[in-house]
Amino acid sequence: MRSTIHHRKLQTTAILAAISLLGSGSAFATNGYFSHGYGTQSKAMAGTGVARSLDTLAPATNPAGLLGVEDGMDAGMAWFSPDRGYEVTGGPSGACMSAQQCTFGVGPARLRSDKDYFLIPHFGWKRSLGDNAAIGVAVYGNGGMNTRYLGGSATFGVPMGSVPPGMGFTMPGTFGDGTAGVDLMQMFIAPTYARAFGEDSSFGISPIIALQSFEARGLGNFAPFSSDPTKLTNNGHDTSYGLGLKLGMQTQLGEGVRFGASYQTKMSMSEFDDYAGLFANQGDFDIPATATVGMAFDAGDKLTVEFDVQWIAYGDVDSIANPMLPNLMMAPLGANGGAGFGWDDMTVFKLGAEYRATADSTWYFGYSHTDQPIPSSEVLFNILAPGVVENHFTVGYSRAHGSKGNRWTVSAMVAPSVEVRGGNPLDPAQTAELSMDQYEVEFSYHFKG
């Protein structure tokens, strides 16, 4: 009896810790700003797992997979290090074509975001309801839109006749308003029900509770372009809430061959009221829909290979997808049709392998590839959110521990640097380059029960 009470207290503590710590994390190994995977074993295989689930974080990828994992709880923590920044070359022109069309130059400078290390927790729990059904919950997050640039400068053109042509004036900060950057955090709580149908198939459903937090700094000089300059920048962290739904299925196609598919709806979120003068549609920042399909193949008794394709619909969210130009000149920031980050949809290809070396130990390997979502025409605004990583290389190891069947797992990820280069649309004399690379080590522990 005492052991049962202790176990329940441990589960409750882990849930509360995961929720509170997710509120303090702010960057994740990313495809755009979606995590490259959920659950340490899945992350070690580059985020694969829609066809074959391995731990209680399964609902984050495919709620149907919860039925096939063992009862218990998974809790873990990742140490994540992104290196992101920008380099602007070419002197600012400091000129105006007319009183209404003046240049806006950044730098020239080379700056890196100064906050480079984050701790990111996760949590999952599962309980079987007989042989054909299960319930559980997964707590996990997205992020990646986190920057803080100390220093830098911006030069503003002034109308001809006010000062000698080409002089302009310069102010400190990337956009001339001191320290600049953004901080986006997203947390998901996914209670899940999974049930078997037929002999070798399962279906799962997860109503998702989504929470967002956002802050922007150093954007005050965009005030003339904003529908509400008081709700543009430097308003601290604002929160947003919403609901979504994830559906999934898994089935056996033949001996050693499994297929899986999942779909997550677009999540309609409450507006960031404190940033209604920044995000299009009065502070709207919905979470895009995603869809994933994949296969898992047993290549002998010890090796399983998995392949997933994931689609992320960034293009359906105006505040993410609207281009900077011509929108900035046609509608104020925050208004319907206001400028955004210009991101495209993403398609991610993931390949993972699990090698069961012994009865107690397993190795994992993975690689994923995508085309980053930022066009070269959108580099200026995306100084704030340079989510340009395209490749993830992963490895991991898991080992059974103790007599109760518990298990620990560790994974590591490297995402090599990617650069995106384009002209400054507000000062043709300049070229800007965005770059990012990422490193992550994650540890999790599975409590069987």
Per-residue pLDDT reduced to its tens digit, 276-285: 999 999 999 9
Q: What is the pLDDT of residue 403?
A: 78
- Is pLDDT above 80 for 212? yes
Both tokens of residue 417?
């640097």
Sheet strands (E) in 129-267? 133-142, 153-156, 169-172, 181-197, 201-217, 238-254, 257-264
Q: Quick one: the chain helix, strand, coil %, rounded to 5?
A: 15, 50, 35
pLDDT on residue 6: 44
pLDDT of residue 27: 53
pLDDT (0 to 100) of residue 2: 44
**Tell me, what's the pLDDT at 405?**
86
CB 394 within 8 A of CB 364: yes
Tell me what pLDDT residue 9 has.
46
Count of C-beta atoms within a 10 Å radius of residue 360 = 11
The three-state secondary structure class of 320 is helix
pLDDT score, position 13:
44
Structure-token pair, residue 373: 């979502």
Q: Worst-scoring range by mean pLDDT, 144-153, 330-339, 413-422?
A: 144-153
pLDDT at 3 over 60: no
Contact 380, 411 (CB under 8 A): no
SS3 367: strand
22 pLDDT higher than 70: no
Q: Which residue has the higher pLDDT, 176 or 93?
A: 176
pLDDT tier at 29, thresholds 50, 70, 90: low
Average pLDDT for 128-156:
92
pLDDT digits (tens, 9 = 90+) for 300-312: 999 999 999 999 9
* Statement: residue 46 has pLDDT above 50: yes
CA distance 248 to 201: 11
Residue 426 has pLDDT above 70, yes or no: yes
Of 123, 63, 122, nearest in space to 263 by CA: 63
- Measured CA to CA in angstroms, residue 64 lies from 27, 38, 182, 201, 210 at distances of 28, 15, 35, 9, 20
Peptide bond into 416 cis (omega under 30): no
User: What is the structure's pLDDT at 159?
Assistant: 67
Tell me how far apart the alpha carbons of residues 332 and 334 are, in angstroms, rounded to a whole number. Answer: 6
pLDDT given for residue 20 in this prediction: 46
Calculate mean pLDDT across residues 342-362: 97
CATH number at residue 368: 2.40.160.60
Length of the chain: 449
Residue 354: both structure tokens together: 């699990």
pLDDT at 94: 84
Which tokens is 311 given? 């689609």
pLDDT of residue 18 exceeding 50, the answer is no
Mean pLDDT, range 30-54, rounded to an integer: 95
pLDDT band per the 50, 70, 90 thresholds, residue 113:
very high
Q: Are 15 and 139 in contact (CB under 8 A)?
A: yes
Domain span at residue 41 reads 2-448
Share of the chain above pLDDT 70, in %: 90
pLDDT interval class at 73 (50, 70, 90): very high
Write the CA distances from 130 to 11, 59, 98, 124, 240, integer angstroms.
Answer: 21, 19, 74, 19, 38
Higher pLDDT pick, 401 / 60: 60
pLDDT of residue 5: 45
Q: What is the pLDDT of residue 15?
A: 46
Question: What pLDDT is attached to residue 164?
Answer: 56
pLDDT in tens, 229-262: 999 999 999 999 999 999 999 999 999 999 999 9
Which ranges constitute the DSSP H helices of 323-389? Answer: 327-330
At 10, the pLDDT band (50, 70, 90 cuts) reads very low
Task: Check pLDDT > 90 for residue 116.
Answer: no
d(CA 405, CA 401): 6
Distance CA 132, CA 130 (A): 6
Counting the structural domains of the chain, the total is 1
Yes or no: say if 435 and 417 are a contact pair by the CB < 8 Å rule: yes
Specify the pLDDT at position 7.
Answer: 47
Among residues 352, 25, 421, the alpha carbon closest in space to that of 184 is found at 25
Q: 314: alpha, beta or left, given left = phi > 0 and alpha = psi -120 to 50? A: alpha
- What is the pLDDT averaged over residues 183-199? 95
3-state secondary structure of 364: strand
The residues pairing with 361 across neighbouring beta strands, listed in sequence order, are 399
pTM equals 0.92
pLDDT at 232: 98
Q: What is the mean pLDDT of the chain?
A: 91
Which residue, chain included where needed, has tokens 């049709």?
337
Q: Residue 262 in contact with residue 50, Cβ under 8 Å?
A: yes
Q: Per-residue pLDDT averaged across 259-268, rounded? A: 98
Q: What percent of the chain has pLDDT over 90?
A: 83
Whether the predicted pLDDT of 14 surpasses 70: no
DSSP 3-state of 297: strand
Among 5, 8, 35, CA closest to 22: 35
Per-residue confidence at 144, pLDDT binned at 50, 70, 90?
Answer: low
Q: Which pLDDT score, from 0 to 100, does residue 187 have?
A: 94
pLDDT at 80: 92
Would you say residue 82 has pLDDT above 90? yes
Whether 192 contacts 178, CB under 8 Å: no
pLDDT confidence tier of residue 157, bands split at 50, 70 and 90? confident
